[in-house]
Structure 1
């Protein structure tokens, strides 16, 4: 509404700069933030900075997605060919890079704002700035631009497909159906975790990744269809005659509620997690448990994450490349 609405290229360009620059800075600085605010136990500064960190990162995530999304809408329009083209490009790209799991979001993904993990996250090759700054820059850009925009292609294509196929003549009813279908698929994905995990335990190599991706596709479908439903319901349900106030109310209420619940990280797209990077059938279990998530990840981060001062990047790079 405010960012050059009459010039889509300028608007998308500014969104792209914000959406790439902010995550880039936060990615290459993640060890520094963790060391200065968490390891040194500066609790007061941490509490203030972490709230602004989440807010800025969330806004940048929206800009990142918006920049390519509005251009795809403008260039490709809304048709079956446009939808299937975006879905195919995104799906093939993410599957080839073994990054399909990054396409799953709420309701099947919940990230808690606990201090041990708020600033640290995986990238494609887990390169850290202190040991190799140039390679760290390339690693960050790869995750943000390549993997991030492939996810946008996949999600935008699915939105477009639903817009043209699911009751296009009645958007309100279509949105309600999306919510029902999305939650139904999400529940199905939850029940599929255990059999998929068992299959992954006895599978190896490419077959194991294919088994895990079957669940990921269910989870991704549940996520995107649910989002599409609420995305179209909210504008007509909350102050429909005043779009500005409606958007402000939704943004403030949404982020404020997530911050209050210590789950603002759920609204942020950051890092890259490769398919099957954990051993056995562990990757089949989705991170949707709000109450159990905090304790699980505290243990995981304490055991798996090392600050840049004590990590051997060469060993990490070799390990990650063997997965990719």
Structure 2
């Protein structure tokens, strides 16, 4: 699962998962209380802006245009990832890289929201009953599980992405093809975006709709409040069980470990959907009716500034295909929501690197042998 552990060469240092409990709690609190509301504000405002500007009087046309634009742009960004990574690099100017990479994230963010909004609204046009919604949700979950891509339903507060130059533009595809064969690579990108992406939207929409039907459907505000409480309650329980789950998955092999990881991811997903639905509904209720254009634009700009300032703007993006149980045994249920632990680890690595250089200088003080270090931090 791509998240805040992205951007490190080789396997991510296991010491980061075993650092002090205090740092782990701070990271979880930061992801849940700071990054989650900022990400939600971005999605809520962008979704509303598309509602306001793209065929506002014709919902079906609006949904269709939004879906086509979002899906096509997502495929294009997926296909151009290697070229973007080559052209936009800190080696060619840090200021230029910072500006262009954040512009890319802005474009990709709108693309993601447009794609999901369009497909979601087109699904809503079907007007499914609660029974049909339950069956379609179950079918989407089973399809993702069969493809071993169920973890792609996860989002903040369980997945936090640090903006790293190493993989800022990376969009992993399902078949892992390369640009060598353009046709196969194009088909891989299309399958990753259209098939896997649509299944993920189906799961989100299904659980969202079920929550609306089950939690006080006659009182929308109360329903949203219950969703927030249930979501954060499940999130606390899920994070608290992470270490026992790591120990248990390390003992299991094959299908049992995969099944356990899928169930654990589903529980975290139920928490995520409830948090998103509850906070989204409360924003709709108390923010949107007053001045929709002003509030949506202010929320959009402010959320971007906050996330860029925190260096985790890519958290808003939904892209790439990641496979279940592809990490080491005890890492398959670790949620990548590291923030302060990453900077703490980098600080320790720099300190060790400096100590190594000083020790080597002292050893070779009277030697003409040049110092050579090849360390990536």
TM over 0.5: yes
Task: Return the alpha-carbon distance in structure 1 between the equivalents of residues 136 and 340 of structure 2.
Answer: 36
Among candidates 135, 159, 165, match of residue 208 of structure 2: 159
Which position in structure 2 is the counterpart of 1:116? 166
Task: Return the alpha-carbon distance in structure 2 between the equivalents of residues 9 and 167 of structure 1.
Answer: 28
Which position in structure 2 is the counterpart of 1:64? 115
The reply to whether residue 85 of structure 1 matches residue 139 of structure 2 is no
Compare relative contact order (CA 8 Å, sep 6+) and give the higher one, 1 or 2.
Answer: 2
The reply to whether residue 51 of structure 1 matches residue 113 of structure 2 is no
- Unmatched tracts of structure 2, length 5 or more: 1-51, 347-377
Contact 1:112 1:294 in 2 (8 A): no
- The structure that has the greater radius of gyration is 2
The reply to whether residue 10 of structure 1 matches residue 65 of structure 2 is no
Moved more, 8-17 or 66-75: 8-17
Task: Return the alpha-carbon distance in structure 1 between the equivalents of residues 341 and 89 of structure 2.
Answer: 22
Contact 2:119 2:201 in 1 (8 A): yes
Q: How far 1:249 sits from its partner (Å)?
A: 2.6
Which position in structure 2 is the counterpart of 1:34? 85
The reply to whether residue 21 of structure 1 matches residue 77 of structure 2 is no
Task: Return the alpha-carbon distance in structure 1 between the equivalents of residues 110 and 343 of structure 2.
Answer: 24
Task: Return the alpha-carbon distance in structure 2 between the equivalents of residues 250 and 233 of structure 1.
Answer: 14
Contact 2:89 2:165 in 1 (8 A): yes
Distance 1:296 1:285, change over 3 A: farther
Partner of 2:241, secondary structure, is helix
Q: May I ask how many residue pairs the two structures share in their alignment?
A: 295
Contact 1:108 1:219 in 2 (8 A): yes
Among candidates 232, 245, 257, match of residue 196 of structure 1: 245
Alignment of 1:195-234 (within 5 A): 195-234=244-283
Task: Return the alpha-carbon distance in structure 1 between the equivalents of residues 282 and 200 of structure 2.
Answer: 23
Task: Return the alpha-carbon distance in structure 2 between the equivalents of residues 296 and 90 of structure 1.
Answer: 38
- Please give the root-mean-square deviation of Cα atoms over the aligned residues, in Å: 1.9
Moved more, 109-118 or 7-16: 7-16
Runs ≥4 residues deviating over 6 A: 294-297
